[in-house]
Amino acid sequence: MKKGIWQFLAGAVQFEIRGGQGERFLNLCAEQGIPIQQVQPAAQGYLAWLPVRHYRRVHRTARRCRCVLRVRRRKGLGFLLGHMQRRRGVWLGLALGAAALLLCPGMVWNIEFVDFTPVQEQSLRQQLYENGIYEGAFVDADQLRRVADRIFVEEETYNWVALNFVKGRLVAEKRDRNAAPQIAGGEITDLVAKDSGVITAVDLEGGFLTAWPGQAVAEGALLATGANVNDLTGRVAYSRAAGQVYARMEKVYICTQPLELEAQVPTGRTVSGWRMKAGALDIPLTPAPSMEGLYTQTVTRQGLAPLGFHLPATLERTQLRGLETIRVRLSPGLAAQKARLQIVLYLRECFPDYVMESCKETVTQTERDVTVELRVIFTANIARQVPHQAAAP
C-alpha cells in the first residue's frame, strides 16, 4: 500500500524499447542501478516501467545500444496536476462550487426523501415545487415550517410531515396516517342493512342483535341496535353496535356495450423540452415543446446530480405525447367481455368482500351493441354502521 502511494506521488512512465540491442540495454541499466520494472516483450521490442526521475538517464544508454525509446503511458500526481492545469474550466468550476457553499448556506443542493414510494416522492416533489422549494432554491426555517404544515393539511394520507434542512441537504420525512373509523368508539351506534337479502351469518362485536340468520331483511332495516330496554325495570342500556352481518343476495345486472366507439390512442409522436432552475435563474436548455392536435403533457423534475455529485439546480422535463381519435369497432366477443367486466367492477365496488355462489349469463346482440345480463347469487357483508338515532342525550 505504501509503495503504491509513493509511486503515485513520485510518478512513473511506461516506455517502449525499439530496435537495436534491447537485451544489452536492459543489462546496462541494471548495472547502473536504474530500477526498470515490469519488463515484457512487445511487437517491436520491449515494454517497461520506470520512475520518472530516472527516465533522462536511460537515453544515453539507449544511444549506446542503438535503441529508440518511446513513452506510452504516464501516471502520477505530477502528470495529473499538469493535465488539470491545462483545463482551467475544472479549476474554475471547483472555485465556483466552493464559493457557492460558503456564500449560499441557504441554497438547497439535494432533497432526500425518507420512506417515500416513487409515486409519493413525485407527488411531494410537485407540492414542494409549487411552494418554491427545489434544488437550487433558497429556503429558511420559517418557510419550511409553513410548507410542512400546509402539506400536512392538504395531504390526507400523512399523519406527520417534517422538512429538515442541514448544510445544503433538505430531508423530507413523513409518517403514513392509519385509516380511522368513521365513528368514534365512545359513540352509540346502530347497524343497518345497506341492501336486501337473507341473513346467513352474524359476527357481532357490540350492540344488541335485532335480526337473526335465516331472516330476510330489506335495505335500511335495523340489524343491531345500540340501545336495549329492560322489560322488567324499563331501564335503557346503551352500547356501540359493530360487527359484520352476512346475507345471501340475488341480483340482476345489465350492461350494454356499443360495438362502435371513439378512442384516443397514442400516435408515437413525442416531443420533449428541458429547463434548468437554479435560484432566481430559469434557463431553457431546449426550445419549448409544442405539438398540434391532441396530446398529453407530463412534467417531471429532478435534481441535477452528474456522476452522483449533487448541484444546486433542478432539471425540468416537459414531454408531450401525441394522441389521435379513432373509431373502433369491437367484435361481439370483446364487447361482451367489456360489458361483463363493467358488471364485475361495479359489484366489487358495492360489495368488496362478496363470495360468488352462482352466476347465469344471457347475451343479446344487435347490429349496434351487445347486452350482457348477469343473474348472480352471492354472499356479502351488508352491515353499515350509523349513529343511533334514538339515543338519549
Q: Which of 17-21, 200-204, 251-255 has the lowest average pLDDT?
A: 17-21
Q: Give the model's confidence band at 107: pLDDT under 50 very low, under 70 low, under 90 confident, else very high.
A: confident
pLDDT of residue 184: 47
Mean pLDDT (whole number) for 376-380: 95
Which backbone phi and psi does 139 adopt, to 5 degrees? -130, 160
CATH (residue range 2-81): 3.30.70.260
Query: Residue 45: left (phi > 0), alpha (psi -120 to 50), or beta?
Result: left
Q: Which of 19-28, 270-279, 334-343 has the lowest average pLDDT?
A: 19-28
Tell me whether residue 155 is exposed, middle or buried, using C-beta atoms within 10 angstroms of its C-beta: 0 to 12, 13 to 18, 19 or more.
Answer: middle
Note every long-range contact of 172-178, with CB atoms under 8 Å and residues 24 or more positions apart, other chains counting: 172/111, 172/112, 172/113, 172/114, 172/116, 172/124, 172/128, 173/114, 173/115, 174/114, 174/115, 174/116, 174/120, 174/124
SS (H, E, C) 249-306: EEEEEEEEEECEEEEEEEEEEEEEEEEEEECCEEEECCCCCCCCCEEEEEEEEEECCH
Mean pLDDT (whole number) for 77-98: 65
Q: Give the model's confidence band at 245: pLDDT under 50 very low, under 70 low, under 90 confident, else very high.
A: very high
Mean pLDDT (whole number) for 151-170: 83
**Residue 198 pLDDT greater than 60, yes or no:** yes
Mean pLDDT (whole number) for 61-90: 73
pLDDT of residue 392: 38
**Residue 1 pLDDT greater than 50, yes or no:** no
Residues of the chain above pLDDT 70, percent: 85
**Residue 192 pLDDT greater than 90, yes or no:** yes
pLDDT of residue 7: 61
Q: Give residue-wise pLDDT tens across range 248-287.
A: 999 999 999 999 988 888 988 999 999 998 877 889 999 9
Which of 173-177, 228-232, 339-343 ranks highest by mean pLDDT? 339-343
Q: Give the model's confidence band at 244: pLDDT under 50 very low, under 70 low, under 90 confident, else very high.
A: very high
pLDDT of residue 17: 85
CA angle 144, 145, 151 (to 5 degrees): 85
pLDDT of residue 110: 87
- Provide the CATH topology of domain 110-176: Ubiquitin-like (UB roll) (3.10.20)
For residue 252, which of 360, 118, 351 has the smallest C-alpha distance? 360
Q: Do domains 2-81 and 110-176 have the same CATH topology?
A: no
Helix (H) or strand (E) holding 136: none
For residue 171, which of 123, 120, 114 has the smallest C-alpha distance? 114
Q: Where are the domains of the chain?
A: 2-81, 110-176
Distance CA 49, CA 70 (A): 12
**Residue 177 pLDDT greater than 80, yes or no:** no
In DSSP terms, 312 is beta-bridged to: none
